């Protein structure tokens, strides 16, 4: 499949598939499944922002203090590994992947993601990974800013109600008392922050295929993406 894609498109280029979408749209699951079907790596860029958030929390960085942020970024020792479609994050050589979705990290990551110096740092990590290997990369600004030259671009979304319903089961593991309304409110706040920030806001770029996953499963979304990829190859 991959060699076909590479032959069809450009042998000298690595294959880049970019997926953006709002929180809880299912893009993480879909990106992982698509990467596994294609036998390539999957980069969850949210994990990078979450990893830096853990670093800032450990170092008790005041997010409003530019000098504290900059010095914490200078001391950042963050590494990622790709395993079975998952992005593992190591901070100071310690695997912190299981903490990336802790409630406090989730509640802070979107505030960290608006800091220009953080985005610059993450962009350089992303480019290092994406420069020389085939990958599926998912996040908020992948189709627009990080990989605008990706051969395939998708914007995955779902209704707020559906996204909240899906996220509720995950959040109840850590917070059994949480209600659907609270999850909905949390997702809505993150949507507003991601879509209205000044740098690299979440946008649906015109050359990204829109997929609404409100009423279809992750398996169906992946099949739709594979059909689009195959169709493009046939028409080359």
Verify binding: residue 113, ligand DC, rule CB under 6 A: yes
Strand order from edge to edge, sheet including 135-139:
41-44, 135-139, 16-20, 152-157, 209-212
Nearest distance from C-beta of residue 194 to ligand DC, angstroms: 5
Verify binding: residue 141, ligand DC, rule CB under 6 A: yes
Judged by CB, which is closer to ligand DC: 5, or 80?
A: 80
Q: Which stretch binds ligand DC (CB under 6 A): 109-117, 127-135, 163-171, 222-230?
A: 109-117
Cβ atoms within 10 Å of 210's Cβ, excluding its own: 10
Nearest distance from C-beta of residue 233 to ligand DC, angstroms: 27
Judged by CB, which is closer to ligand DC: 153, or 190?
A: 190
Size of the site for ligand DC (CB under 6 A): 14
Q: Which of 38, 42, 49, 54 binds ligand DC (CB under 6 A)?
A: 49
Nearest distance from C-beta of residue 49 to ligand DC, angstroms: 4
Number of alpha helices (DSSP H) and beta strands (DSSP E) in the chain: 9, 8
Verify binding: residue 55, ligand DC, rule CB under 6 A: no
DSSP output for 167-224 = HHHHHHHH-TT--HHHHHHHHHHHHHHHHH-SSS-----TTSEEEE-SSS-HHHHHHH
Q: Which of 109, 135, 150, 183 binds ligand DC (CB under 6 A)?
A: 109
Q: Scan for tokens 């946008």, then name that residue.
A: 203
């Amino acid at each position: 499949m991959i060699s076909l894609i590479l032959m069809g498109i450009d042998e000298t280029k690595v294959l880049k598939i970019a997926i953006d979408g709002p929180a809880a749209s299912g893009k993480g699951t879909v990106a992982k499944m698509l990467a596994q079907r294609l036998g390539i790596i999957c980069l969850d860029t949210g994990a990078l922002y979450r990893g830096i958030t853990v670093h800032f929390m450990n170092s008790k960085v005041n997010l409003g203090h530019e000098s504290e942020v900059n010095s914490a970024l200078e001391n950042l020792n963050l590494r990622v590994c790709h395993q079975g479609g998952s992005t593992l994050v190591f901070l100071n050589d310690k695997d912190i992947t299981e903490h990336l979705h802790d409630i406090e990290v989730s509640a802070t990551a979107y505030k960290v993601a608006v800091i220009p110096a953080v985005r610059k740092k993450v962009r350089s990590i992303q480019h290092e990974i994406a420069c020389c290997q085939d990958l599926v990369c998912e996040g908020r600004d992948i189709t627009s800013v990080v990989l605008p030259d990706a051969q395939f671009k998708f914007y995955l979304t779902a209704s707020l109600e559906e996204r909240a319903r899906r996220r509720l089961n995950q959040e109840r593991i850590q917070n059994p008392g949480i209600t659907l309304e609270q999850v909905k409110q949390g997702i809505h706040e993150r949507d507003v922050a991601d879509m209205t920030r000044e740098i690299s806001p979440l946008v649906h770029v015109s050359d990204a295929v829109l997929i609404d996953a409100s009423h279809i499963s992750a398996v169906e979304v992946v099949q739709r993406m594979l059909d689009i990829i195959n169709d493009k190859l046939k028409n080359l």
